[in-house]
Amino acid sequence: MAPAMDLVKPLITLLAIVNPLAIVPFFIHYTQGYTHNQRKRTAWTTAFSAFIVIAMSALIGLQLLSFFGISIASFQVGGGMLLLLSAMSMLKAEPGEAKTNKEEIRATEVKASLGASIAVVPLTIPLLTGPATMSTVVIYAEKTQHIWELAILVGYGVVIGLATGITFSLAEPISRVLGKTGINVMTRLMGLILAALAVEVMADGLGSLFPILHRAT
């Protein structure tokens, strides 16, 4: 990765995909009946889990691709398609990552009623850091040329975790201030940014798979 803007691009992309603001209504729904301390603990457990997903994707994602014999170019095209699908969902004011189905929602509500933690599933996976997030981190990890660049990418996981923890800790005030309309506007804006980044990722992958496309441009 080149200095300056290229180093910041992964963080912008990850913030656009994870977008904890869009998950605030889900967090409030799943933690209904929780005490203040339980809700706070759930928020920061979710934040730490999101960091772990991003860090592991950065550190061992490429090794997993190599193990399965998948080229990074193919992964870029597939990952770009996932990003584009996430962007399309966000442009409709839906969470960028895959939503849980009705059965998972019911199971989660049962867990919540029993006091079990719902921080990892479904809040972290799949709502915050699903396939689109993982594939994005792996794609950017492949572009790193030095260990410090990889360390920065892992560090972005810390930033995402902090943003998630703070956002969820302030979920109710944020929901009151922004309202559903404000959250939807933010989600659509992030979706537009993500769509442009998705096209760029797919273009890089297609250019590597079909060099004639590079010559044509």
What secondary structure does DSSP assign to 91-114, as a single string?
A: HTTS-SSPPP-HHHHHHHHHHHHT
The residue ranking higher by pLDDT, 37 or 122, is 37
**Residue 41: inside a domain:** no
Encode pLDDT of 2-15 as tens digits: 554 477 889 999 99
Q: Where in the sequence is the domain holding 124, given as residue range(s)? A: 5-33+51-212
Q: 107: pLDDT confidence band, cut at 50, 70 and 90?
A: low
The residue ranking higher by pLDDT, 181 or 11, is 11
- In 3D, which of 197, 195, 189 has the Cα closest to residue 22? 189
Encode pLDDT of 127-170 as tens digits: 899 888 999 999 999 989 899 999 999 999 999 999 999 999 99
Q: Which two tokens stand for residue 30?
A: 């799943």
First to last CA, the chain: 22
Encode pLDDT of 46-72 as tens digits: 999 999 999 999 999 999 988 888 888
In the predicted model, is pLDDT for residue 104 greater than 70?
no
| Number of domains the chain contains | 1
Residue 101 main-chain phi, psi, to 5 deg = -85, 180
One-letter amino acid identity for 191?
A: G
Mean pLDDT of the chain: 84
Q: How far apart are CA 197 and CA 210, in angstroms?
A: 20
Evaluate whether 153 touches 10 at the Cβ level (below 8 Å): yes
User: Residue 155 class from Cβ within 10 Å (0-12 exposed, 13-18 middle, 19+ buried)?
Assistant: middle
Question: Which residues does 210 contact at the CB level (< 8 Å), separation at least 6?
Answer: none
- Alpha helix positions (H), the chain: 5-18, 20-30, 36-68, 72-91, 102-113, 131-143, 147-169, 171-209, 211-216
Q: How far apart are CA 177 and CA 170, in angstroms?
A: 11
Contacts of 209-215 spanning 24+ positions with Cβ under 8 A? 209/71, 209/73, 209/74, 209/77
Q: Which two tokens stand for residue 146?
A: 């030095």
**Residue 134: inside a domain:** yes
The residue ranking higher by pLDDT, 110 or 192, is 192
**Residue 169: inside a domain:** yes
In the predicted model, is pLDDT for residue 93 greater than 70?
yes
The pLDDT value recorded for residue 40 is 93
**Residue 42: inside a domain:** no
- Percent share of the chain, pLDDT over 90: 34
**Residue 175: inside a domain:** yes
- Percent share of the chain, pLDDT over 70: 85
Evaluate whether 76 touches 205 at the Cβ level (below 8 Å): yes
In the predicted model, is pLDDT for residue 213 greater than 90?
no
**Residue 12: inside a domain:** yes
In the predicted model, is pLDDT for residue 114 greater than 50?
no
**Residue 9: inside a domain:** yes
**Residue 40: inside a domain:** no
The pLDDT value recorded for residue 126 is 77
The pLDDT value recorded for residue 122 is 82
